[in-house]
Amino acid sequence: MLRYVAMKLGRAAFVIWAAFTLSFVLLFVLPANPVDLLFDPDQLNTLSPETKARVAASYGFDKPLPAQYLDRLGHALRGDFGTSVRSGRSVTGAIGDVMPSTIVLAVGALVLALAIGFGIALLASSTRWAWLRGVVEALPTAAVSVPIFLSGILLLQVFAFQLGWFPAYGDSGWTSLVLPLVALAIPVSGPIAQLLVRSFDHELHSGYVTTSWAKGATRSQVLVGDVFRNASLPALTIAGITFGNLIAGSVITETVFARQGVGRLTQSAISALDVPLVQGIVMFVAVTFAVINLIVDLAYPLLDPRLRATLATGSAGMRRPR
């Protein structure tokens, strides 16, 4: 068991280090001269070489590359990713400013998406009418087919501009959260719902459920007591994909609803060629991704007794059950 944990931890650490090194190479090594990116093209020729040299020295661009790399790695380990070129704010500060907003949006959308997913799966497996089942099973496909910018703007048109129930932009309390949460939850819920429908279906046909029927359980007792827990496990497997969907969706959601967030910060940092900030965001996403996968890897043995047993006996084939 300890070896399993150590291996997963090691893998997470490797992924984080690799992300740092790759982003360093792509952002600091490949561009011809990072100092040139700090100024408008119009101004570039007018600046004297001495001015450019001074600016380069203040950012440390004049040191040899391995020295720059180790210097930045050292700072990064201490949580210092430098300062944003466009605003002068520290990178960790800039990300910290917008992170709460994104976390609220992401967690809320994830909860809503899970609720939608489970709701769809429950409805599909508990109904006796085939036509209703067909409609509900088609919903996940429809959910991922409508792009967020379209659904977001439609939601705004109806609920914010026409009906005036919710504000259209910014961040003024819980009313500003409703529309973005719905817009982001819809496409995220699609894969979850799809997976859960299949999973519920499969579990309903398994042996232990037959036993429960035989013992006289009602449909709801079977669904909630037996099927629910076992069918939920695959949803954990796609936690990584779900996280990816949330990040991708949050960029568009934050833009359409004019909210603060890591997604929009990424987009504007890239637009402004704010290299330190871009690296900081890449590292933030990499660390979050690695941590989520690590948590899932460590949580699986706790949820699935079969895996616990395999680990305890130290079996060679340590694969996460699919």
Partner 1 sequence: MSEDLRSSLESAPPRNRWPWLVAAAVAVLVIVVVAFAATRGGADSKTSVANGKPVRGGTLQFALLDAQNSPDPQLGTNYAESIIANNIGDKLVWQDPKTGKITPWLATSWKFNHDLTQLTFHLRRDVTFSDGTKFTSASVKANLDQFIRGDAKLGILPNGASLFPGYLGTDTPDEYTAVLKFKQPLASALQAASITSNGQPVFLAASTLKLSATQRAADATKIIGTGPFVYESWKPQVNTVLKRREGYNWAPPAIGHKGEAYLDKVVFNTIPEASVRTGSLTSGSIDATLDVGTTDEQPLRAQGFQIITRPVSGTPLRIDLNSSLFPTNDIAVRKAFQLGWNRDTIKKTVLSSSYAIATSILEPSVAGYVDHSSTLTYNPDEAKKLLDDDGWKPGPDGIRVKDGKKLTIKVLGVNNLVANKPAFESIQADLLKIGINLQANVVPHQDFMALWVNARTAWNGTAGNTSRDDPVVLNATYSPLLGNQGWLDPKSADGKKAIEVLGKLDTTLDPAARVKYAAAAQDLLVDQLALTNPVYDATQVIAQAPYVHGIIFDAQSRNEFVDAWKSNGK
Q: Among residue numbers 58 through 97, which ones bind partner 1 (CB under 8 A)?
A: 58, 83-84, 86-90, 93-94, 97
Residues contacting residue 207 through CB under 8 Å, at least 6 positions apart: none
Q: How far is CA 298 from the centre of its chain?
A: 19
Over the window 232 to 271, marking each residue x when it contacts partner 1 by CB under 8 A and - when it does not, the resulting string is -----------------------xxxxxxx--xx--x-xx
- CB-CB neighbours of 193 under 10 Å: 27
- With CB under 8 A as the contact rule, the residue among 121, 139, 192, 281 that binds partner 1 is 139
Closest distance between partner 1 and the C-beta of residue 192, in Å? 16
Nearest of 32, 20, 77, 21 to residue 273 by alpha carbon: 32
Crossing angle of helices 262-271 and 275-303, rounded to 10°: 150
Toward partner 1, which CB reaches closer, 11 or 86? 86
308 is an interface residue for partner 1 by CB under 8 A: no
Crossing angle of helices 239-256 and 148-155, rounded to 10°: 50
Closest distance between partner 1 and the C-beta of residue 163, in Å? 9
Closest distance between partner 1 and the C-beta of residue 149, in Å? 8
Q: Are 5 and 302 in contact (CB under 8 A)?
A: no
Piece of 47-55, 221-229, 241-249, 285-293 that binds partner 1 (CB under 8 A) = 47-55
Piece of 26-34, 67-75, 210-218, 291-299 that binds partner 1 (CB under 8 A) = 26-34
Distance CA 33, CA 7 (A): 40
Toward partner 1, which CB reaches closer, 12 or 296? 296
Closest distance between partner 1 and the C-beta of residue 15, in Å? 25
Toward partner 1, which CB reaches closer, 48 or 313? 48
How many residues of this chain bind partner 1 (CB under 8 A)? 78
- With CB under 8 A as the contact rule, the residue among 76, 102, 125, 137 that binds partner 1 is 137
Name residues contacting partner 1, limited to 198-217 (CB under 8 A). Answer: 198-199, 201-202, 205-206
Nearest of 15, 90, 55, 68 to residue 274 by alpha carbon: 90
- With CB under 8 A as the contact rule, the residue among 1, 22, 29, 33 that binds partner 1 is 33
- With CB under 8 A as the contact rule, the residue among 168, 217, 236, 238 that binds partner 1 is 168
Piece of 43-51, 115-123, 220-228, 281-289 that binds partner 1 (CB under 8 A) = 43-51
Q: Where are the alpha helices (DSSP H) in the chain?
A: 2-24, 41-44, 49-59, 65-77, 91-126, 130-145, 148-155, 175-204, 207-215, 219-221, 228-237, 239-256, 262-271, 275-303, 305-312
Nearest of 140, 172, 142, 168 to residue 154 by alpha carbon: 168
Residues contacting residue 249 through CB under 8 Å, at least 6 positions apart: 109, 148, 184, 187, 188
Q: Which pair of structure tokens corresponds to residue 64?
A: 């040899």
Closest distance between partner 1 and the C-beta of residue 29, in Å? 14
Nearest of 197, 224, 222, 65 to residue 136 by alpha carbon: 197
- With CB under 8 A as the contact rule, the residue among 55, 294, 295, 311 that binds partner 1 is 55
Toward partner 1, which CB reaches closer, 36 or 212? 36
